[in-house]
């Protein structure tokens, strides 16, 4: 295989709201380009990019998947990303390696809550944006309505470069506004589209839309603006050149019309990708940090020193760890010695591949900007930078705070022995997953569906079966006033005894400060070597809670006096004394419960807004704002997590399945007294291990 040069590469992340047709569109693009022999169907479980068993069973994407195809002289690397809120972080992590975000907007449902989120991911990374109105062959689909919602949300920079021919089941092709040609559906071979004249009934609308596009292109470049004023128009070649520059600089977001299931609009979209989308160098230099943390950048050229950014890890129990990467600079060879700059380790490269879904295709060389995959790296994880020399490190986007926690119980002793290792492997490929062992094993993630998928993967990949217990809200406890407390531990049972005595001052901190420990002991009342034991005793005691078994946060403990015995005092004795001082302090400091409050963004049809607001009020929600977007309303609110655990089916019922929501952790607030009493009583009545 010959080396694909940087200028020929197009890295495109396909992103959008759930059920907006991303995977189907990718399948149609691959088929039109000749990369596959048939269009994969999500409902049939045979698409290239939804190859995971859970994806096939649930009929939607759960992971970002990489594939590629050739079109004319260009190589298109396509990253198909999930659109559901529980898995949207996959799209965020893909954006640093994509030069363009192809954002899908369903022609029936319009702009969804996650459409704006993925647009924000692209904006944060400086990626170009193309907006594809999809599923235009469906009943109630409307290009004009979807375009109105797009422009209302993203502004006048979102402008059509195509118009649809026909509506709903009669949708049969698109009008290319640059060349004023009609590009129909697939020809007799099912692939290459038919090209002809613009239908007479669309000519006036097409001329008007073309003029608007021409004006937008001219506004983006002074030289083109002069030509436009001089000639009253731009030639197709001038429009292409101007549009290419405007797309790369995010001055224009082209809007296209498609129906992936019927393979309509894909030829025009592939042409657009080859002609108008930026190559890796056109996006600008690769930005990172020097070893001392100062900002740095490197040009994306193939003659520089090779450096690699790993944007995704797949932990396969049979194939081992697969590391998906982008060549940020230089030309990478399969035998190149690479050092992990993030972890300070040297990696032995066993081979280099490109990916087509689950299939690996060995390659010997990749140019700057290309995407590939390493197999079986030992030290490297998602977000790491590898280089042949002392390069710069590239930053990994932040992942969201987990929003839901379940207690999980292994079904057998064998499962219990294997579960920690299996969860650690899953954590390698899923940065939003958290697990910890407190009084029980707790699994935290972005939503109930996320946790259910993790449990399924534990069984399928690693043979570990667990039982899920009801969602556990991560309450916290805190104090409201300060006090002084005393802890004394004395035990004599023959031989050396145990003795420790400490006086501690406890005071509240600002919300979010967690815990501080200090010592003001003077005069040797407590020897210095026992002070860390007192801190450890407080740390362990606060993790077990006082009111209802939840960690105590946002307070400072200062040991200021105490006593010791030259023979009987020990670290364990002072740990016990500290735990007794903690209990004494909690009894004096008016402890209270805190609950996590979530920032919630809900997008609903206008006719369901009243019902949704009423339900939010019943859930103790506080509405922060509302915004009309076409025929939909975006509601921003703050709601206690405890009230959101069962929200998804309720929203589906209230909106007939047309609503969507996303939530992220915001802060902790005190639990109302009546509810706090119920939580404390439930804890006291629960069986103790």
pLDDT at site 430? 92
Please check whether residue 27 is in contact with residue 263, taking contact to mean a CB–CB distance below 8 angstroms: no
For residue 52, give the 3-state DSSP assignment: coil
- pLDDT for residue 689 is more than 60: no
For residue 322, give the 3-state DSSP assignment: strand
Domain boundaries, the chain: 7-199+252-276, 307-387, 404-472, 480-590, 594-676
Tell the burial category of 378 from Cβ atoms under 10 Å away from its Cβ (0-12, 13-18, 19+): exposed
User: CA 46, 51, 57, 59 torsion: positive or negative?
Assistant: negative
CA dihedral angle for residue 609, residue 611, residue 616, residue 617, rounded to 10 degrees:
110
- pLDDT for residue 219 is more than 60: yes
pLDDT at site 256? 98
Please check whether residue 286 is in contact with residue 395, taking contact to mean a CB–CB distance below 8 angstroms: no
Distance (Å, rounded) from C-alpha 115 to C-alpha 15? Answer: 8
CA dihedral angle for residue 234, residue 236, residue 241, residue 245, rounded to 10 degrees:
80
User: CA 345, 350, 353, 356 torsion: positive or negative?
Assistant: negative
Residues paired with residue 635 on neighbouring β-strands, in sequence order: 602, 626
Mean pLDDT of 591-606: 92
Residue from 682, 679, 683, 661 nearest 671 by CA: 679
> Using 50, 70 and 90 to split pLDDT, how confident is the model at 494?
low
- For residue range 438-482, list pLDDT tens digits in order: 667 888 888 888 999 999 999 998 899 999 887 778 899 999 999
**Chain mean position to CA 18:** 14
Please check whether residue 596 is in contact with residue 557, taking contact to mean a CB–CB distance below 8 angstroms: no
pLDDT at site 237? 94
Phi/psi of residue 118, nearest 5 degrees: -70, -30
- pLDDT for residue 318 is more than 80: no
- pLDDT for residue 1 is more than 60: no
- pLDDT for residue 188 is more than 70: no
Q: Domain 307-387 classified CATH 3.30.450.90?
A: no
Q: What share of the chain is helix, strand, coil (3-state, %, to 5)?
A: 35, 35, 35
Distance (Å, rounded) from C-alpha 329 to C-alpha 291? Answer: 17
CATH class of 404-472: alpha beta
pLDDT at site 189? 62
How many CB atoms are closer than 10 A to CB 524?
A: 8
For residue 680, give the 3-state DSSP assignment: helix
Distance (Å, rounded) from C-alpha 198 to C-alpha 392? Answer: 51
What strand order describes the sheet that includes 193-196?
162-165, 173-176, 181-186, 193-196
pLDDT at site 2? 72
Q: Domain 594-676 classified CATH 3.30.2290.10?
A: no
Record the tokens describing residue 546, joined without a space: 């006082």
Record the tokens describing residue 449, joined without a space: 């569906």
- For residue range 275-302, list pLDDT tens digits in order: 999 999 998 899 999 888 899 999 999 8
Residue from 289, 291, 521, 319 nearest 390 by CA: 291
For residue 642, give the 3-state DSSP assignment: helix
Residue from 448, 442, 359 nearest 403 by CA: 448
- For residue range 381-439, list pLDDT tens digits in order: 999 999 987 789 998 888 877 777 888 888 888 787 789 889 988 999 999 998 877 66
Q: Could you check whether 404-472 and 594-676 share the same CATH topology?
A: yes
- For residue range 74-113, list pLDDT tens digits in order: 999 999 999 988 899 999 999 999 999 999 999 998 998 7
Distance (Å, rounded) from C-alpha 296 to C-alpha 304? Answer: 15
- pLDDT for residue 501 is more than 90: yes
Q: What is the mean pLDDT of the chain?
A: 91
Residue from 587, 591, 590 nearest 485 by CA: 587
Please check whether residue 561 is in contact with residue 523, taking contact to mean a CB–CB distance below 8 angstroms: no
How many CB atoms are closer than 10 A to CB 377?
A: 23
CATH class of 7-199+252-276: alpha beta
Phi/psi of residue 335, nearest 5 degrees: -100, 10
CATH class of 480-590: alpha beta
Distance (Å, rounded) from C-alpha 199 to C-alpha 181? Answer: 9
Tell the burial category of 428 from Cβ atoms under 10 Å away from its Cβ (0-12, 13-18, 19+): middle
Record the tokens describing residue 381, joined without a space: 């994880």
Please check whether residue 526 is in contact with residue 574, taking contact to mean a CB–CB distance below 8 angstroms: yes
Neighbouring residues of 269: CB distance < 8 A, sequence distance ≥ 6: 29, 132, 256, 258
339-to-303, 382, 431, 534 alpha-carbon distances in Å: 19, 15, 22, 42
For residue 590, give the 3-state DSSP assignment: coil
Mean pLDDT of 325-340: 92
Distance (Å, rounded) from C-alpha 61 to C-alpha 67? Answer: 14
């Amino acid at each position: 295989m010959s080396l694909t040069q940087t200028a020929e590469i197009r890295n495109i992340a396909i992103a959008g709201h759930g059920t907006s047709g991303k995977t189907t569109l990718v399948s149609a693009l691959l088929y039109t380009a000749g990369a596959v022999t048939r269009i994969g169907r999500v409902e049939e479980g045979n698409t290239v990019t939804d190859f995971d068993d859970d994806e096939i069973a649930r009929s939607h994407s759960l992971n970002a998947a990489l594939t590629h195809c050739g079109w004319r002289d260009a190589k298109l690397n396509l990253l198909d990303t999930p659109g559901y809120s529980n898995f949207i972080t996959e799209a965020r992590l893909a954006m640093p390696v994509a030069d363009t975000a192809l954002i899908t907007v369903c022609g029936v449902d319009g702009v969804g809550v996650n459409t704006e989120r993925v647009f924000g991911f692209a904006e944060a990374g400086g990626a170009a944006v193309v907006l594809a109105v999809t599923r235009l062959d469906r009943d109630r689909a409307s290009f004009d309505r979807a375009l109105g919602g797009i422009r209302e949300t993203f502004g006048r920079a979102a402008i059509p470069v195509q118009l649809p021919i026909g509506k709903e089941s009669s949708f049969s092709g698109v009008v290319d506004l640059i060349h004023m040609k009609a590009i129909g559906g697939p020809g007799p071979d099912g692939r290459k589209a038919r090209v002809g004249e613009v239908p007479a009934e669309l000519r006036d609308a097409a001329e008007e839309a073309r003029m608007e596009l021409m004006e937008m292109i001219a506004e983006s470049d002074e030289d083109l603006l002069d030509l436009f004023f001089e000639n009253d128009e731009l030639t197709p070649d001038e429009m292409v050149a101007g549009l290419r520059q405007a797309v790369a600089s995010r001055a224009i977001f082209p809007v296209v019309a498609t129906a992936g299931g019927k393979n309509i609009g894909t030829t025009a979209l592939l042409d657009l990708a080859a002609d108008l989308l930026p190559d890796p160098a056109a996006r600008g230099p690769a930005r990172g940090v020097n070893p001392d943390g100062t900002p740095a950048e490197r040009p994306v050229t193939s003659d520089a020193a090779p450096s690699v950014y790993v944007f995704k890890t797949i932990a396969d129990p049979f194939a081992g760890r697969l590391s998906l990467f982008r060549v940020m600079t230089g030309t990478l060879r399969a035998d190149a010695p690479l050092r992990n700059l993030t972890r300070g380790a040297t990696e032995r490269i066993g081979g280099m591949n490109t990916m087509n879904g689950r299939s690996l295709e060995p390659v010997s060389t990749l140019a700057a900007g290309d995407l590939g995959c390493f197999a079986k790296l030992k030290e490297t994880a998602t977000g790491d930078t590898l280089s042949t020399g002392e390069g710069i490190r590239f930053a990994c986007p932040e992942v969201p705070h987990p929003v839901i926690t379940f207690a999980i119980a292994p079904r057998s002793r064998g499962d219990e022995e294997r579960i920690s290792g299996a969860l650690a492997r899953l954590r390698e490929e899923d940065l939003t997953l958290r697990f910890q062992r407190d009084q029980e094993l707790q699994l935290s993630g972005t939503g109930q569906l996320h946790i259910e998928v993790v449990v399924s993967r534990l069984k399928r990949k690693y043979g570990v079966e667990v039982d899920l217990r009801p969602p556990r809200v991560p309450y916290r406890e805190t104090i409201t006033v300060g006090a002084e407390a005393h802890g004394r531990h004395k035990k004599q049972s023959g031989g050396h005894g145990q003795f420790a005595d400490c006086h501690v001052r406890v005071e509240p901190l600002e919300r979010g400060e967690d815990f501080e420990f200090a010592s003001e002991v003077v005069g040797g009342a407590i020897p210095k070597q026992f002070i860390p034991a007192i801190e450890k005793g407080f740390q362990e005691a606060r993790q077990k809670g006082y009111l209802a078994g939840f960690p105590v946060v946002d307070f400072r403990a200062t040991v200021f006096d105490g006593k010791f015995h030259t023979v009987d005092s020990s670290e364990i004795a002072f740990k016990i004394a500290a735990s007794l001082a903690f209990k004494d302090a909690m009894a004096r400091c008016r402890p209270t419960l805190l609950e996590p409050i979530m920032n919630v963004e809900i997008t609903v049809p206008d006719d369901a807004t009243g019902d949704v607001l009423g339900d939010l009020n019943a859930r103790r929600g506080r509405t922060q704002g509302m915004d009309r977007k076409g025929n939909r309303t975006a509601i921003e609110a703050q709601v206690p997590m405890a009230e959101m655990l069962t929200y998804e089916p309720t929203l589906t019922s209230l909106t007939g399945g047309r609503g969507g929501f996303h939530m992220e952790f915001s802060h902790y607030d005190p639990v109302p007294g009546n509810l706090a009493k119920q939580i404390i009583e439930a804890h006291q009545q629960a069986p103790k291990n």
